Amino acid sequence: MKIRDWHIDGFGMFHDFGLEHLPDGMTVFLGPNEAGKSTLLGFLRGILFGYPSGRSREPDFPPLKGGRHGGKIVIDVEGKGSITIARYTEKKTPVVVTLPDGSQASQAELVQLLGSADRSLFKQIFAFSLSELQELQTLKSEEVRDRIFSAGIAGAGHSATEAIRRLEKEIRDIHAPRRQKTKVANLLKRFRKLSDELREARNQAARYSEFYEQEEKCHAHIQEATENQESLRRQVERYKLLMELWPTCQRLEGARTELSQLEAVDEFPPEPERRMSEVTADYRAAQVKSDDLVAAHKAKADQCESFKHGLKDKLAQLNNEVEAHHEDLRLHRDHLNQMSGAQQRIDEACRDLEDALRSLGPQWDRSRLEAFDTSLPREEEVRNWKERLADAVSHIAEAVQPVRSIEKQIAFAIKERDRIQARHNKAKTPDEATLMARESALAQFSELWAKEENLQVRADGYKALVEDRQRTIESLPNVPATGSATSVILTGLGALAAGITAAWRFAVDDKVGFAVLACLGIAFAVAVWLLKRKKAAVPLPAWLDDGLRRAKQQYDETCKEAENVRTAISKQAEILVLSVTATREELSAVEKKLREERRALSKWQDAQTRIQEANNRLQEYEEEREELQRDLDRGQNAQDQAEQDWQQWKAGCEIPEGLTPDGVLAFLPRVEAAREKVRKLDSAKEALNQLRKAITAWQKRARELLARANTPLAHDDAPEGQVIDSFLQLRNACRKDAGQRQELIQLRGEIADLEANIEAARKQVEQSSQRRDKLLAEAGVIDEPAFWRKHEIFKQRQEFRGEIGSLERIITDRVGLGLETDKTLKELRSGLVDEWQQARLRAEQELQQVVRDHEEAVRQHQDAMKARKTVEESADVPAIEIDIENVRCELVAALNEWQIKSIAKAVIETTLAQFVRDRQPGVLAEASRMFEKVTDHNYQKVVVEPDGQSLAIIDRSLGRKKPEELSRGTAEQLYLCLRLALAREFAQQLCPLPIVMDDVLVNFDPTRAQAMAEVLTSFAELNQVLLFTCHPETVQILQEKCAHIRVEQMHLYGS
């Protein structure tokens, strides 16, 4: 996969930023700090594998200059063409992958295009900064090791380690020796609980009638205690009510006494306070208002008399005409100010016209200028010539670019073909038939070897069985005469066979079968002991001899079959060049060698296919280049003819000979601009004449108005300033006269309004006085003090009546109505408070005792009912037995699931370990080769420590160092070599991904920087490399190693 183009809509400091046609090899991006190199690294990570979430520590680079947060890139995938990937940070906007045919690819297809890599793997191996290069733990990640060394074990896009981790968790959840909350532990706990419940249910079933009788007896006691409680509570509440109402009864009698002592005032006008306050306030306000209106009327009348003097009728007649002429004064002044400017514009227009004519040429004058054609048809004709010439040039440019592109493709195809041939020409051509025969022999050898071991174990078992049966016959000269002896012998012989089989099971590592069959062997020993204890004897039965004979026959057949298998093993061993007694280590070495030969054969076949494909592409490119060259020649001829026709057309139109179409289009506006200067000169002269006419007209009208106002000018040729000043004085006099007349009219209107208001105020005073007298008469008094005294007595009587009614309602609400109420009221009036208190205490004590009896009866009833329900619920013995059987079945299923998942975990772990052993040495060998070259043979090899996780470095004296013991620069060189080796392994196993690095050479000394540059340029021959740096010397070192490296300049703040 190669990155060809990218376009950033908005990301960090970049907005609407794009780059096109990135080459296959190395591209270096050179720019100062804050030029956006780290931003581009983050953009490439995000566009391919998703932007970091808000919880991530990585920066999200929000768009600082606007635009949508994200962008798109174009990648070139071998065999698929150019594919566009667009991704933005909006949660509702998924990644859009556009294939060459315009269709959309799914997320799964994108993962496949990227070799099943994810964001973490890409960041750790393929796209990293200087700080990330310095972190060794990123190369210890299980995910990196798993993705590269075990690609394909757990399925596309999934991790074998993740599958092992998930299976291990599921196994622990099912069963673990020391865990208490596993599925098996919970089922066992439930099984024990159900067993206890079943036992308890069977014990409690017989006591059901006893619990039922006890429950009925307690229920009767509860009912009796409840009735006694209600009776005593009513007594307590009655005495409590009497004591609580006694203070209320005393207040009621006192209120009735005070009411009887007041004067009898039972009626009074409604809302007396509000009504008296309103009529008093209205009367006083009306009187004040009347006095204020009379004073204002007198002041206005005096002011009106003072305005009647000093008015002139002549000024009133001229006022409108003077105002109308004054509106033109500002325009008149503008005309005066514009006079000098108008004359200057005429002079400037004359000079501009002369300059324009000189710029057009020495033979240009006003008549030729007006006769020259600058119309739109002429301009359109020039544009047509421009398009014709541009089309000819464009056609040549379009034809040149494909020719150059196809030549580059031809050169690259030749280079790629030569590189593949150079790599594989020296290798010996593998013999596929011999390899297949040896692989078949290896498979049969392993199968026959296992079969021979099993047959040998079976033969040993049969041999032991024959020997044991012979010893049995020898140790039993006589057999018991009783009928039970036969069954004992049969049992013993069956147990003997089971014991022999148990030995074989133990040999094949079947521990469960061994344990079961070993028990049967013990039974055989017991049977023999029983036979020896029999005293009566009979001759040995015939079936015992038959069993011995069959055992010998099976032994012979097994030995013969084992010998045949050994013969077949020897034939396969000759093919594999192995001895018949080869060890497992020798067999593993042969298997490893065959795998290597198979990989070499696959690489050789793949190389031949690639060479043929390269030759085919090269032939297609040559044919395409010939056709493109013919198209380029035709375009060149068309361009020459168009240029000749253009020169002839210009000569016919009297256009200067050396002008291009763009020059003619620029020349026509200059001619038109010169014409515009002619029109500008004529317009300036006309504007000056209009100004002079307007100024004369205004002065004439101003002199007429001054003469009619009896204030003419002393001379007809008075200066302009004197005319304007005299006119302004006339306007001020007119405005002053008009203002005084308007104020006089307004005063007269106000005086009329005041007279009407004075009359209304007097009527309001009379109405307020009448309302007050009416309110006093309604209350039955003659003045306001008497009104308020009688109102106070009325309020007191109303309050006492309200209090009496409220107290009576309180007593009635608490006591109620009826015969019992009358009895209670009568007793309440007696006032025997002490007797009520004593009776209440006695009732409360009795109530407490009854409550205790009731609670005890309820407790006994609940215990009896609970015991009865427990018996009812636990007495369903069949249901509990069904639950126990269900739990037993679940337990068996859980153990089966645990066994299956344990086997699956072991298989994946074994397979993963095998893949790592096969592939890891190649990665370390490639990293060692690079690191040895970079360090000038100071360090020769990179190896894995015995723990299988950490690394060690072997120096030239065969000393061993850990990565943390290296200097910072040397450690960074090691980490970079490891990443390049891992990337190369990933490309060979899955697909090549581009390497993106940010200033990773900054801490290298000049010598090692030169060596690392050589390693990087060699690596870039097969992988695309993008290197960001702010050091020009880094670019110089790389260009010394490879001159055709592309360098992109970056500027500050992404500009």
Q: Where are the domains of the chain?
A: 2-117+990-1054, 330-373+667-695, 376-426+601-652, 432-491+529-598
Question: Mean pLDDT, the chain, as a whole number?
Answer: 79
Q: Are 727 and 318 in contact (CB under 8 A)?
A: no
Nearest to 811 by CA among 801, 833, 826, 797: 826
| pLDDT surpassing 80 at residue 142 | no
Contacts of 536 (CB under 8 A, 6+ apart): 480, 481, 482
Three-state SS annotation for 297-325: HHHHHHHHHHHCCCCCHHHHHHHHHHHHH
The pTM score is: 0.37
| Reported confidence tier of residue 30, pLDDT bands at 50, 70, 90 | very high
Average pLDDT over every residue of 785-810: 82
Integer Cα distance of 483 and 489 in angstroms: 11
- % of the chain with per-residue pLDDT over 70: 84
Between residues 623 and 1020, the one the model is more confident about: 1020
Residues 6+ apart with CB under 8 A from 75: 1, 2, 3, 4, 82, 83, 85, 113
Q: Which of 112-116, 134-138, 488-492, 808-812 has the highest mean pLDDT?
A: 112-116
Higher model confidence: residue 779 or residue 496? 779
- C-alpha 229/C-alpha 648 separation (Å) is 132
| pLDDT for 199 beyond 70 | yes
Asked if residue 7 has pLDDT above 90, the reply is: yes
pLDDT, tens digit, 9 for 90 and up, residues 255-279:
878 877 877 777 778 888 888 888 8
CB 307 within 8 A of CB 737: no
For residues 41 and 996, the answer to whether their CB atoms sit within 8 Å is yes
What are 874-889's pLDDT values in tens digits? Answer: 556 677 778 888 888 8
Determine how many CB atoms are found less than 10 A away from the CB of residue 108: 10
Residue 1047's pLDDT band, with cuts at 50, 70 and 90, is very high
What's the rounded Cα separation, in Å, for the pair 832 and 180?
A: 74
Q: Which of 21, 63, 15, 61 is nearest to 41 (CA)?
A: 61
Which one-letter amino acid corresponds to residue 738? A
- Eight-state DSSP code of residue 136: G
- CA distance to 296, 500, 567, 569, 633, per residue, from 452 (Å): 141, 19, 10, 9, 80
Residue 153 pLDDT class (50, 70, 90 cuts): very low
Q: Which two tokens stand for residue 183?
A: 């599925």
**Residue 867 confidence (pLDDT) above 80:** no
What is the token pair recorded at 357? 């004519």
| pLDDT of amino acid 877 | 66
Instruction: Kindly give the pairing relationship between strand 1046-1049 and strand 26-30.
Output: parallel
What is the predicted pLDDT for the residue at 288? 86
Give the type of residue at 269: P
| Nearest Cα to Cα of residue 964 among 976, 950, 978, 947 | 950
Query: How is residue 739 written in tokens?
Result: 């203002």
Burial of 1049 (C-beta count, 10 Å sphere; 0-12/13-18/19+): exposed
User: How far apart are alpha carbons 1052 and 13 in whole angstroms?
Assistant: 10
Cβ atoms within 10 Å, residue 100: 11
C-alpha span between 981 and 975 (Å, rounded): 10
User: Following DSSP, what letter does each residue of 400-463 receive, concatenated?
Assistant: HHHHHHHHHHHHHHHHHHHHHHHHHSSSPPP-HHHHHHHHHHHHHHHHHHHHHHHHHHHHHHHH
> What mean pLDDT is predicted for residues 1010-1038?
92
Give 431-480 pLDDT, tens digit per residue: 778 888 887 887 887 788 778 777 887 787 778 777 776 776 766 544 34
The span from the CA of 241 to the CA of 815, in Å, is 8
State residue 717's pLDDT score.
67
CATH number for the region 2-117+990-1054 comes to: 3.40.50.300
Token code pair at residue 412: 């690259």
* pLDDT attached to residue 590: 81
pLDDT of 1011 above 90: yes
Task: Check residues 594 and 18 and name the one with the higher pLDDT.
Answer: 18
Indicate the SS3 state at residue 850: helix
Token code pair at residue 839: 């009776």
* pLDDT tens digit sequence for 686-728: 888 888 888 888 888 888 888 887 777 656 666 777 788 888 8
First to last CA, the chain: 29
* 656, amino acid identity: P
Residue, of 512 and 857, whose pLDDT is higher:
857
